[in-house]
Copies of this chain bind each other. A is one copy, B any other.
Amino acid sequence: MSDDDDLVFKALADPTRRALLDRLFVRDGQTLTELESELAMTRFGVMKHLRLLEDAGLVVTRRQGREKLHFLNPVPIRSIHDRWIDKYTEHHTATLLDLKAELERDDPKEKP
């Protein structure tokens, strides 16, 4: 069944952790204290979340003196995609999303 991805899905299930990935997607290599300052949560909470992201392989780290730098790793995300997106229908799915994005751009916040 290939579910060693369990850590990845569990890690992605929390909005705070997804926000952390978003921050790293914008600017890679941030420290714990930098990330904490944007997140309305104590340092300990952020640390726990980063730990889970690291265990899942979604974030890789490098020590630099007393600092620990965090980097986003996109590989596990790509694996999720490949699990349920058939090569032959991939183009069709991407096209649907493009259409959705275009509709939302044309009619912003429309309430039917």
Interfacial residues, chain A to chain B (CB-CB below 8 A): 1, 3, 6, 9-10, 12-15, 18-19, 21-22, 25, 72, 74-75, 77-86, 89-90, 93-94, 96-97, 100
Contact = CB atoms under 8 A, between A and B. Distances in A.
Given A3-B18, A77-B84, 4 more contacts: A3-B15, A72-B84, A75-B93, A78-B93
Contact of A13 (B9, B21, B85): B9
Given A3-B18, A15-B3, A78 B85 contact: yes
Contact of A84 (B1, B10, B25): B25
B81 A81 contact: yes
A93 B75 CA distance: 6
Contacts of A80: 12, 77, 80-81
A79 B81 CA distance: 9
A15 B84 CA distance: 14
